[in-house]
Every structure is written in C-alpha cells, then in structure tokens.
Structure 1
Amino acid sequence: MINEYYDYIKSLHLIFVITWFAGLFYIVRLFVYHAEAKLKPQPEQDILVKQYQLMQYRLWYIITWPSAVLASIFAFLLLYINPGWLQMSWMHVKLFFVFLLYLYHLKCHQIFNQLQKDDVRHSSNFFRLWNEGATIILFAVVFLVILKNEFNWIYGVIGIILFSVLLMLGFKLYKRIREKNQS
C-alpha cells in the first residue's frame, strides 16, 4: 500500500530537504549579521542583536529543525520502500554526506545557542566560510542522487570548491577596493 504513495513521499522528502538547506544557509547568514552587529556602537548594537536573535530563533525552530526532522522521516520511508538502495555504493557515500550534514546542523545548533546568549565566538568571516560547508554537502548529495555513482560526485564537489575559492578571492578584492575608496 505504501508503494502507491512513493512519488508523494519522494516529493515531500525533497521539499523538506530544500527547506532544511534554506534554513541552514540563512541561519549562518544571520550569524554573519549578528557578529557584525557586535561591532556597532550602542544603542544600534543592542537593537540589531535583539532582532537577529529573534530572527534566528524563529528560523531555527519554525523552519530548520522541523524540516530536518521531516526530511529524515520521509527518507526513512523511502528506504523502507526501496531497501535495495542500501546495497548500492553510491547510497553509502550519500549517507556519509547526510551524516556530515547532521554534524553540520548540530554545530550550527551549538553556535545558535551561543548567539542566543550573545556569546559571539567567531568573526563574520568565519561564518561566511562556515556557510560553504552546507554548499559542498549539497553539491555532493545532488550529484550522487542524480548520477548514482560513487565517484562522479567528486567532479561536482571539486567544481564548487574552486568556485568558492574564486568567490572568496572576489570578496577579498571587493573588500580591498571598498576600503581603498573609503580612505
């Protein structure tokens, strides 16, 4: 009976994976803003920090955590319907990346808890780099699922790493130009 709902379950899994990643991408962007707000003068700092804490809280508990849980539930249902996937080597690699995604999510939760207490331990540049972790995992998983090959995903990940390096270099160049124009 559950097999007739396979396409619905797969669709729901994909929707919640997308919203989970959206939450992860945006929460780290809010971490960037929070870290930058700590460098502002008073009372601007207090106003911004309170607003970012509220935004982080709502995003984390209304979108990101529920999406992670629902994506996982629908993933387990898909594996229940298709247990043969667990015998495929590409699925083993994918599950490894999903494990890394959970670790990334839990680290974000730790950072979230620190920032809720206004304990900023990292710079905005650290958070910008940290955001690339989810991007690399996303690329790897998408290539694995589409290509169903445990090796071809490497090209996609290498591509995103190179793209990330180019973005960081562009960011540094832009920052230097902006600083030069301000002085």
Structure 2
Amino acid sequence: MYYNYIKAFHLIFIITWFAGLFYVPRLFMYQIEAYKKDKNVRGEFIKQFKLMSWRLWYIITWPSSVLATFFGILLILSNQSLLNQNWMILKICFVILLIVYHLKTHMIFLSLQRDKCSYSSNFFRFWNEGATLLLFAIVFLAILKDSVQSFYLLAGLICLALILFFSIKFYEKIRKKNE
C-alpha cells in the first residue's frame, strides 16, 4: 500500500529535480551573456541571474535531488527483487550519471557565483541537453523495463543527441545572422 505513495513522491521529486536541471543552465547562459552588456546595466543583470539561480538551485533543485534519491532508495528497499532486473541496473547507472551531472552543474554554479566561470553561453546550450538525454534514458527504462534493448536505447540516445546538437548549431547560425 505504501509502495505507491512512495512511488508518487519519487516521481514528483524527479519532476522538480529535472525542472531545476533544465532551467539552471539557461540562467547560467543568460548570466554569461550579461557580461557582454553595457557596463551601466551589466551589474544589475548579473546580480539578478545570480539570485535567480541561487534560489532555483538551493530551494528547488538540491532538495528535489535529495528527496528523489531518498524515495528511489526506499522503492528499491521495499522491493529488492528490482535489483535482479537488468533494466533497473541500467537505470541506476543512468541515475548515477544524473547525479554526476548534477554535481558538475553545482561546481559550475559555484564558479558563476564567484564570477570565475570560463564557459561560454554556447557551452551551456549544449550542457543543458545533458539532462534531456538522461531523462529520455531513465524514462524509457522505467516504462519499458526489460522490453527495451540496450542497443536500441543507445542508438536512440545517439540520434537524439545528434538532433539536439544540430538544432543548437542551426539556432546559433540564426542568432549570429540576426545580430
């Protein structure tokens, strides 16, 4: 009975965690672009983006990541036979990658808060898609379970990555043309 409540909380916190992971790199990108603005307005933009990213990161993203992980562990403890299933082992591997992605994003966040980030705004356009790829992998594994074949999952992720890559490059050309 409690299993479905735990699953519901797990899903809710996954959604809010990904919301943070999707939006915070956008804020990073805007902050980097603000450094190129006129000196008279640059400071206010940077200050605002730092505040927005701080609130998003510490009030939504970090707590959601901890709670999603906590409820995920509770789900596994409630049904340990999940660990005998290949799809779950693969899903856990992608979740570990998600946690690594989250921690690297945290390091970037800290460097931006100190005005010591050396990444370009274009880097953040690509970085932002890391969470997208991980979301696709995790959701397909969670829904399709053992019916998903590793080769097709990997091929699908590579195709998605290529589509995202070329979309970003196409958008970059349009932006440069309009500047």
TM score, norm. by length of structure 2: 0.91
Equivalent position of 1:83 in the other structure? 80
C-alpha distance after superposition, 1:21-43 (max 9, x if no partner) = 11011011111111111111212
CA contact (8 A) 1:9 1:74 kept: yes
Distance 1:104 1:180, change over 3 A: closer
**8 Å CA contact retained: 2:140, 2:148:** no
Contact 2:6 2:75 in 1 (8 A): yes
Secondary structure of 1:148 counterpart: helix
Cα distance, 1:156 vs. partner? 4.6
List structure 1 segments (4+ residues) > 2 angstroms apart after TM superposition: 149-182
The question of whether the paired residues in 2 share the 8 Å contact of 1:144 and 1:153 is answered with no
Matched with 1:112 is 109
Comparing 37-46 and 14-23, the one that deviates more: 37-46
- The CA deviation at 1:178 is 4.7
1:34 and 2:26 aligned: no
Partner of 1:61: 58
Q: 123, 148, 162: which is aligned to 2:159?
A: 162
Residue number in structure 2 paired with 1:70: 67
Alpha-carbon distance between aligned partners in 2 of 1:139 and 1:145, rounded to the nearest angstrom: 10
Q: Flag structure 1 segments of 5+ consecutive residues without an equivalent.
A: none
DSSP-derived class of the 1:121 partner: coil
Instruction: Give the CA deviation at 1:78.
Output: 0.6
After superposition, the CA RMSD in angstroms is: 1.9
- Partner in structure 2 of residue 129 of structure 1: 126
Equivalent in the alignment of 2:17: 20
Aligned-residue identity in percent: 53
Q: Deviations over 1:3-55 (max 9, x none)?
A: x2111110010010011011011011111111111111212211111000000
Which of the residues 89, 92, 99 maps onto 1:92? 89
Shift of 1:127: 0.8
Provide the C-alpha distance between the structure 2 equivalents of 1:174 and 1:138, rounded to a whole number of angstroms: 22
The match for 1:9 is 6
Distance 1:181 1:129, change over 3 A: closer
CA displacement 1:100-157 (0-9 Å, x = unmatched): 1110000000000001111121001111111111111111111111111285355355
Give the letter for the 1:159 counterpart. G
Q: CA distance change for structure 1 residues 72 and 171 in 2, over 3 Å: closer, same or farther?
A: closer
CA contact (8 A) 1:28 1:130 kept: yes
